[in-house]
Amino acid sequence: MAKQNGFSLLEVMLSVVIAGIALLGLAAAQLKSLQYATNSFNYTVSLVQGQNTLERIWPRLCELQVTNPDLFNDVGFRASLGPQTSDYQLTLPAVYADDMQLSVAWSDERMTDSAENQISLNASFPALPVGCI
């Protein structure tokens, strides 16, 4: 009987199964990486949205502090401070204060590891004199 050279079908099948399991593991790692990249993008956009909100308060600071403190409760003014897209939700304090905290949240159902999908920003505005313009 001649001696066989090469691989048996059993060895080839076992190699294919091991390679398939390894590729499934790599695919799962790639998927998780994409989920974290998306969450990181949402975090960055939320920071920009929060900074935009604070920047929109600056031009009306004299009005908020001196001439019309009720402006902060005006629906139109609060709407103008909000994010430009409905994917993010802005939470402002109930009343204006020179030192305030605001938060921007987003929803990402793909993240299942209880990541907090929210950022908080602390703002400190200077007290303007009564005769500010």
pLDDT digits 0-9 by tens, 15-28:
999 999 999 999 99
- The residue count for the chain: 133
DSSP 71: G
pLDDT on residue 50: 95
Instruction: Give the pTM.
Output: 0.77
pLDDT on residue 113: 65
Contact 104, 90 (CB under 8 A): yes
What would the mean pLDDT of 33-48 be, rounded to a whole number? 91
Give the list of residues 6+ apart from residue 61 with CB closer than 8 angstroms, or none. Answer: 125, 128, 132
pLDDT on residue 94: 92
Give the list of residues 6+ apart from residue 95 with CB closer than 8 angstroms, or none. Answer: 72, 73
d(CA 102, CA 122): 7
Token pair in block for residue 93: 């304090």
The strands making up 118-124's β-sheet, listed across from edge to edge, are: 88-91, 99-106, 118-124
> Residue 2 pLDDT > 80, yes or no?
no
